[in-house]
Amino acid sequence: MKYFKLFGKTKVQSSKPELEKSEFEQIKVFKSLPKDQWKPAYNELNKIIGVNLKEYGFKKKGRKHYRLTNDLLEVIDIDNRGSWSGAKDDIEIRIGLVPYCWQGLTNEYYLVGSKPIEQIDKTIRNHFRISKEYLILADYLTERIIKNVLPFFEKYNSTKKITSQPYIFPYHTKCGGDDIRNSHFLILFSELKQHKNINAIEILENEIEFGSDSLNQVTWKELKKLVENKDWETIDNIFAENEKNILDKLKIKPVANNIYSS
């Protein structure tokens, strides 16, 4: 039986039968919020989720929740961005595994190596409205994340695991894929961290042709040359400097959760 805090109170997370509906799932009609309350409601909802995930090693920064395990950042992105109107009244949740050895990966518009939560938790819907019941929604999302997302992270929480089963994160050249966004970056940097070159050159050539070189230290072309020359020492040094800068920016300690489980 697991206890976690919700709305300032301690709540018991029990092993309820799968068929028993949660309080959120029992709601028949959701009450709309005025537009000027969308953003503060979303902020409070995400803050509550952050408090609940803190004991599991996550750190909230902006709309995302980060946890460093081995050599990947586990990221939960609770997104309410609208295209032109700013915040919107619904949220989408993506679950990502992000290499942090290359500048820009943690700031990609579409979360690197990510799946929508409904592909990991088949019982959950693909988006949620921010209604007057948003506190109950925070409770519900916390429970679903703890139950289904954290075990997903445990399966794939290192570049070694990613390179041993890359078929879990298929990618398409010239785009990041549909169901798994930006998974080519996850495969590329997992291979390079493991000193492998299976798909790396193909991905790098694609980025040289279609990507952006607004990066620090080296360009895609320079990185490709290092890979071709198997200059792993230089690559490791570049990655180590980037990792330090990224973790400093996120205020995450580099020794966090260094566990390689099988």
Q: What is the pLDDT along the chain (262 residues), one digit of tens a residue?
A: 344 555 444 555 555 555 578 898 898 899 999 999 999 999 999 999 999 999 999 999 999 999 999 999 999 999 888 765 567 888 999 999 999 998 778 877 778 888 899 999 988 877 799 999 999 999 999 999 999 999 999 999 999 999 998 888 887 655 444 456 788 899 999 999 999 999 999 999 988 887 766 555 578 999 999 999 999 999 999 999 999 999 999 999 886 455 444 4
Distance between CA atoms of residues 142 and 194, nearest Å: 33
Provide the residue type at 130 as one letter.
I
pLDDT at 9: 47
pTM to 2 decimal places: 0.85
pLDDT at 32: 93
Residue 201, judged by CB atoms within 10 A of its CB (0-12, 13-18, 19+), counts as middle
pLDDT at 175: 46
Distance between CA atoms of residues 207 and 238, nearest Å: 18
Compute CA distances 84 → 41, 88, 92, 110, 163, whole Å. Answer: 20, 10, 17, 17, 38
Q: Both tokens of residue 224?
A: 């490709």
